[in-house]
């Protein structure tokens, strides 16, 4: 069962809308996801980079603060004091505390303790808070450990442990000269870690996201959960951090989380931003849901509009279809206009006009069929009469032959030639089976006519034939030259035919036309008479409608020749008359189509 146009049109609309909506929704979702991922990556990178920069700047402040210790002469003397020189040692403690350590406490209140530990076995320390579980011997016991883990380049070292609980320990090796690489002691600073955590507490990574810091050994330096500080990070996660430096990766523990980490070359800490994957994907899921809802809502509206639009097209088409079916049954029905003044209304108007025109044409065709039937009956009657009339020409031919026989018996050459020429002319004239004949046959017919005319004139009048031999077999309308020559004898020489009179026949090609001319040097045609002839030729009036002109125009007549050429060849062909003036002769031109397509001969080649 074939589906209707309305169903197919609606199906096409649905397919187009679904494809376009799907493509738009998919592209929008993919591009939005990429942009959200890009912004998330940028956000995590920016958070970690800012935290790292602020942390490094914060630690560098203490690096600069310790420079005053390195340039102090009291410190240099302390480093060079002999271990056995207790007097010098005790004398150096107070100046170092008052001139070096106390200013550090004043300028940096977050510092809890400062200590100097010489390789000579001597040590000095001072603290900015009550410390009950710390002694001088503790520093000396850790001498070897501190020498081993503190950087040998004189830069600040961040310790994994501290003498005071909950403090951040910073150490650096020092010498008695600022540019010397021969170190003689260690400077240590321990400060409150809470002061440093204020830099990181402001970082917000969603509802359950967080920021934490681990050192190169995997110990957690900072974590929003204070219980995690100082503990060892999960080994698998720590390995993933090392393998994915400076890029985002996912790690699933209890839930799947996204991590981004960057290691500080200055502090050696790895700063990590961590967010749950579902929170990170929440904007993308929101975009997806919004896209689906929007596309679905748009699809419903589009389908409704498509239905209305399709119905607005199908309804007039169905009306036209119904009208056509009624027209097929012969009921010339008109379709009512919808009233929208659009293309469909114009189509209905055109259809109604077409129905009206078809109705008129059918009525005309019916009338023409009646006329054709009547014409066919008349033609059959005429053909029957023509068959009857063929008896008379046969009787005349036999009679002419009898006269020729008597002329031979009586030895009358003139009568024999006249009657024989007349017989040939009559046979040629009454033939009804040919409309076109060769130029040579037409000239032969003119020759028989001239045989009779020469006996009438009493002398031989020769017609000048200028037709090229290659044109003698060219087709032309039958019985057109002889009436023109006869017309010349009747009207061109009103004062009698003299030997200086002349008739010329020529033929040539003019582009795609075949032209035959008959020209004389007689009296010419008066202007009034020439205009009258041109009017009749233009109106294509048969000579029989002007019986009073028969004798004056001679024979079959010029109008008859013109009409027969147009019947055979078409309306653009026929006969034309030109006059060079009274007393200068007349030129009659026959124009017919060149069916064989021979190359044309210029008119100048014809001579008269």
pLDDT digits (tens, 9 = 90+) for 207-254: 778 888 888 888 888 887 877 877 888 888 888 888 888 888 888 877
Which of 302-334 are b and which e, b meaning 16 or more Cβ less than 10 Å from the residue's Cβ? beeebeeebeeebebeebbeebeeebeeeeeee
Lowest mean pLDDT among 298-302, 351-355, 401-405: 401-405
Angstrom distances, CA of residue 360 to CA of 131, 334, 355, 363, 370: 124, 14, 9, 5, 15
Residue 521 or 386, more confident: 521
Residue among 608, 436, 433, 425 nearest 514 (CA): 436
Banded pLDDT at 434 (limits 50, 70, 90): low
Return the structure tokens found at 585.
Answer: 């002769």
Mean pLDDT of 343-370: 79
pLDDT at 605: 33
What average pLDDT score do residues 303-324 get?
75
Per-residue pLDDT, averaged over 326-353, amounts to 72
Between CA 129 and CA 132, with CA 131 as vertex, the angle to 5 degrees is 155
Q: Which two tokens stand for residue 330?
A: 């012969």
Q: Encode pLDDT of 375-430 as tens digits.
A: 677 556 545 554 444 444 554 555 666 676 766 766 677 777 777 777 777 777 76
| Residue 549 pLDDT greater than 60, yes or no | no
**pLDDT > 50? residue 64:** yes
pLDDT at 456 over 60: yes
DSSP readout, 425-491? HHHHHH--S-SEEEHHHHHHHHHHHHHHHHHHHTS----EE---GGGTT-EEESS-HHHHHHHHHHH
Tell me phi and psi for residue 513, to 5 degrees. -110, 150
With residues binned 3-state (H G I as helix, E B as strand, rest as coil), the percentages for the chain, rounded to 5, are 55, 15, 30
Q: Is the separation of the CB atoms in 520 and 483 below 8 Å? A: no
Most confident of 108-122, 343-357, 457-471, 541-555: 457-471
- Which of these ranges, 173-187, 266-280, 303-317, 361-375, has the smallest mean pLDDT? 303-317
132-175 pLDDT per residue, tens: 567 777 777 888 888 888 888 778 888 877 887 777 888 888 88
Least confident of 21-35, 253-267, 367-381, 580-594: 367-381
Whether the per-residue pLDDT at 101 is higher than 70: the answer is yes
């Amino acid at each position: 069962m074939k589906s209707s146009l309305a169903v197919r049109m609606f199906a096409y609309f649905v397919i187009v809308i679904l494809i376009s909506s799907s493509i738009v929704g998919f592209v929008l979702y993919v591009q939005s996801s990429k942009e959200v991922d890009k912004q998330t990556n940028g956000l995590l990178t920016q958070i970690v980079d800012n935290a790292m920069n602020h942390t490094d700047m914060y630690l560098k402040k203490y690096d600069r603060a310790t420079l005053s210790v390195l340039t102090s002469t009291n410190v240099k003397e302390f480093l060079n004091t002999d271990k056995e020189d207790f007097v010098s040692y005790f004398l150096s403690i107070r100046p170092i505390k008052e001139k070096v350590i106390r200013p550090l406490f004043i300028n940096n209140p977050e510092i809890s303790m400062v200590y100097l530990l010489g390789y000579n076995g001597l040590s000095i320390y001072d603290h900015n808070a009550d410390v009950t579980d710390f002694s001088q011997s503790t520093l000396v016991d850790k001498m070897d450990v501190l020498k081993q883990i503190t950087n040998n380049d004189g830069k600040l070292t961040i310790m994994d442990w501290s003498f005071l609980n909950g403090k951040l320990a910073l150490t650096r090796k020092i010498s008695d000269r600022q540019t010397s690489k021969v170190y003689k002691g260690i400077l240590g600073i321990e400060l409150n870690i809470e002061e440093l955590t204020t830099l990181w507490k402001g970082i917000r990574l969603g509802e359950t996201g967080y920021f934490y810091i681990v050192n190169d050994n995997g110990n957690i330096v900072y974590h929003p959960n204070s219980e995690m500080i100082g503990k060892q990070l999960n080994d698998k996660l720590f390995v993933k951090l090392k393998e994915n430096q400076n890029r985002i990766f996912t790690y699933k523990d209890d839930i799947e989380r996204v991590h981004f980490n960057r290691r500080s070359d200055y502090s050696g800490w790895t700063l990590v931003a961590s967010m749950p994957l579902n929170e990170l994907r929440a904007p993308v899921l929101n975009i997806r849901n919004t896209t689906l809802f929007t596309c679905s809502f748009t699809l419903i509206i589009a389908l409704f509009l498509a239905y209305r639009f399709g119905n607005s097209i199908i309804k007039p088409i169905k009306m036209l279809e119904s009208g056509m079916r009624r027209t097929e049954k012969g009921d010339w029905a008109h379709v009512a206009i919808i009233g929208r003044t659009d293309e469909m209304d114009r189509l209905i108007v055109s259809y109604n006009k077409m129905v009206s025109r078809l109705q008129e044409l059918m009525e005309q065709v019916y009338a023409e069929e009646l006329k054709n039937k009547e014409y066919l009956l008349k033609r059959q009657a005429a053909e029957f009469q023509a068959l009857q009339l063929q008896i008379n020409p046969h009787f005349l031919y036999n009679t002419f032959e009898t006269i020729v026989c008597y002329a031979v018996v009586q030895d009358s050459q003139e009568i024999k030639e006249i009657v024989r020429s007349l017989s040939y002319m009559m046979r040629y004239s009454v033939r009804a089976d040919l409309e076109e004949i060769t130029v040579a046959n037409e000239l032969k017919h003119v020759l028989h006519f001239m045989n009779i005319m020469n006996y009438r004139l009493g002398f031989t009048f020769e017609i000048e034939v200028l037709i090229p031999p290659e044109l003698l077999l060219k087709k032309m309308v039958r019985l057109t030259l002889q009436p023109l020559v006869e017309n010349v004898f009747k009207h061109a020489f009103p004062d009698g035919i003299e030997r200086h009179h002349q008739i010329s026949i020529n033929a040539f090609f003019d582009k795609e036309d075949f032209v035959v001319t008959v020209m004389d040097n007689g009296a010419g045609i008066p202007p009034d008479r020439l205009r009258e002839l041109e009017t009749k030729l233009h109106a294509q009036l048969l000579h029989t409608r002007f019986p009073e002109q028969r004798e004056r125009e001679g024979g079959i007549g010029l109008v008859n020749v013109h009409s027969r050429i147009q019947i055979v060849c078409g309306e653009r062909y026929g006969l034309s008359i030109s006059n060079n003036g009274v007393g200068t002769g007349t030129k009659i031109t026959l124009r017919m189509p060149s069916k064989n397509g021979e190359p044309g001969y210029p008119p100048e080649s014809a001579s008269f």
